[in-house]
Amino acid sequence: MRDITKAFNGTFANKNINLHVSSGEVLGLLGENGAGKTTLMNILYGLYRPDSGSVLINGEDVRIRNPHESMNLGIGMIHQHFMLVDNHSVLENIALGFPDSPFFFPDRFIRKKINTFSEKYGLYIDPDKQIWELSAGEQQRVEILKALFLESDLLIMDEPTSVLTPQESIDLFSIIRRMKDEGHSVILISHKLDEIMANCSRVTVLRKGETVGDSAISDVDERSLSRMMVGRDIILTFEKKPLPRGKEVLNVENLHVISDRGLETVNNVSFTVHENEIFGIAGVSGNGQRELIETITGLRKARSGNVSLFGSSILNKSPRVINNRGVTHVPEERIRFGIVPNLLIYENAVLKHHHSHPFSSIMFLDYEAVKGHAKDIIEKFSVSAPSINVPMKSLSGGNIQKLIVGREINNKPPLLVASHPTYGLDVGATEYIRKQLLQRREEGGAVLIVSEDLEELVGLCDRVGVMFKGRFTGIVDPSTTRLEDIGLLMTGIEAGEDS
């Protein structure tokens, strides 16, 4: 890609960017949230057209006008937000993206092909499962299968690991390695520098839409990379003051919850969260964390048990009532739950606080107050946005996350429930959000976080509950527990002490 420039309404997302990938190479693409990584890749994939600049493939100048042309050129892409059709099976989703399926009995043909690829790359997946039944990691495998089907020479992966468990990431990288050995090229976007260091042979760094670095991986280290990205040193440390636990805020007792599939996904879970405390929930995704959080925040009904806040029950109350009592929520699937993509940024900045003071009177929304609030969040959480009057969907993935976290934490809720709070954030933003969480703790707030990033949990939390198959296999003090022991609990082996 040569001298690629792309502006949205006059602000540059990409400015004279140069990028090249050789065959059999894994290129890391780095940059802060909103640096223009996704935009650049969308141009390569034919979703956007560049304002100027050219794309060369095997030395030939090509004009990619749509994803189909890029597929024909051997380019595949796994998007930052999955684009699978929920109510269809894995097989149907793959068949949909595959133009060459035969007219008769496409099922049999596709099924056979899925099996060959599964074996070759160790990508196991049940072709008859519906997409909504799959975990994020499994959905990603479907996306990879789709790309492999098209025999892509170059596979673009936009933040593939943000939503994966550590084990799923390891699997992913072994697939990438196998693809590389077969001469495929991969462009990998990630905010996790260790992943880039371990898996890429070269990196290109973007900053505010411009190329600021392009080096072999052997010439850089994590520190120099983060300096290139943000222009200053960032070391992720957790400065957690020892604090005595305050009053009890949340009390979950013997909670049982049934999942969409009709299975008991939360099985007799009990725990408490106190003031001045961050309580973490660890576990491989799909072990009931999501249903547990949804029940606490009112999005799902419990079968039995109790949830109380400051001693009064909030079990099966509506999300609004629970929110009014002081619980805010950073949801797991940010695009699906957390925002309304087609509404403007300022309208999204009050989603769910819109009904309360100071944003509304009995009937009217005070748009001046709403806009002021939006500006406030954008400034405080350095959300990079052209203005507050653009649709939410024009923000980059990480900036959407910053806005949601900002919105939920800004008015100092007594209990903040956050799923994957730093998901998709660059190092700078991650550092900032973690500081904010710790500050909530110091101010007397209670925080409940779910994360698959064990280091994050261990660094932030006062206590960590480990979830496996709907049960807590242990509640541990991370400062005295080894990571390996938490890992064991995550696989259901109750080695450590019970609380």
Partner 1 sequence: MKYSFKIINNDSYTRTAAIAALALSLVCGFIVIGILFLAKGINPFYAVWKIFSGSFGSSYGIKETVTKSIPLIMTAAGLTVVFRGKFWNIGSEGQLLLGAAAATWVALKIGQSLPSPLVIFCMIIFAAIFGALWAIVPAFLRARLSINEVISTLMFNYIAAELVSFLVIGPWKGTTKYGYPYTDDIPASVMLGHLPDSRIHYFTLILAVILSIIIFYMLFRTKFGYEIRVTGENREAAKYAGINFLKTTLLMAAISGAMAGLAGFGEIAGIHLHLTSPEIISSGYGFTAIIVAWLGKLNPLLTIISGFFFAGILVGGDAIKLSLGLPAATVQVFNGTILVFLIIGDFFLKHRVTLIKIRQ
Say whether residue 393 binds partner 1 (CB under 8 A).
Answer: yes
- What is the greatest pairwise CA distance in the chain? 69
- The stretch among 54-62, 67-75, 131-139, 194-202 that binds partner 1 (CB under 8 A) is 67-75
Residue from 155, 250, 339, 449 touching partner 1 (CB under 8 A): that is: 339
Say whether residue 20 binds partner 1 (CB under 8 A).
Answer: no
| Beta bridge partner(s), residue 275 | none
- The stretch among 243-251, 360-368, 411-419, 467-475 that binds partner 1 (CB under 8 A) is 360-368
Residue from 243, 258, 365, 495 touching partner 1 (CB under 8 A): that is: 365
DSSP β-ladder status, 202-207 and 210-216: antiparallel
DSSP β-ladder status, 2-8 and 11-17: antiparallel
Say whether residue 62 binds partner 1 (CB under 8 A).
Answer: no
Cis before 358 (ω within 30): yes
Residue from 15, 37, 180, 329 touching ligand ATP (CB under 6 A): that is: 37
- Cβ contact 31:22 at 8 Å: no
Residues 6+ apart with CB under 8 A from 83: none
Task: Name the nearest CA neighbour of 109 among 123, 120, 119, 98.
Answer: 98
Residues 6+ apart with CB under 8 A from 277: 243, 245, 246, 441, 446, 447, 462, 463
Least distance between partner 1 and beta carbon 269 (Å): 22
Nearer to partner 1, 100 or 233 (CB): 100
Least distance between partner 1 and beta carbon 296 (Å): 13
Contacts of ligand ATP in 55-114 (CB under 6 A): 80
x/- map, 375-404, ligand ATP, by CB under 6 A = ---------xx--------xxxxxx-----
> In what order do the strands lie in the sheet containing 304-309?
264-274, 248-258, 304-309, 312-313
Nearer to Mg ion, 169 or 473 (CB): 169
Least distance between ligand ATP and beta carbon 51 (Å): 13
Least distance between Mg ion and beta carbon 397 (Å): 4
Residue from 4, 13, 203, 269 touching ligand ATP (CB under 6 A): that is: 13
Tokens of 45: 């994939």
Binding stretches for Mg ion (CB under 5 A)? 38, 80, 396-397
Least distance between partner 1 and beta carbon 63 (Å): 12
DSSP β-ladder status, 26-31 and 312-313: unpaired
Nearer to ligand ATP, 92 or 456 (CB): 456
- Cβ contact 327:318 at 8 Å: no
Least distance between partner 1 and beta carbon 360 (Å): 5
CA distances from 80 to 52, 131, 188 (A): 24, 17, 11
For residue 297, the surrounding DSSP H or E stretch is none
Rounded to whole angstroms, how far apart are CA atoms 462 and 476? 9
Chain residues that interact with partner 1, rule: CB under 8 A = 8, 47, 65-69, 72, 99-100, 298-299, 318-321, 323, 329, 331, 336-343, 347, 351-352, 354-355, 360, 363-365, 367, 391, 393
Chain residues that interact with ligand ATP, rule: CB under 6 A = 8, 13, 31, 33-39, 80, 384-385, 394-399
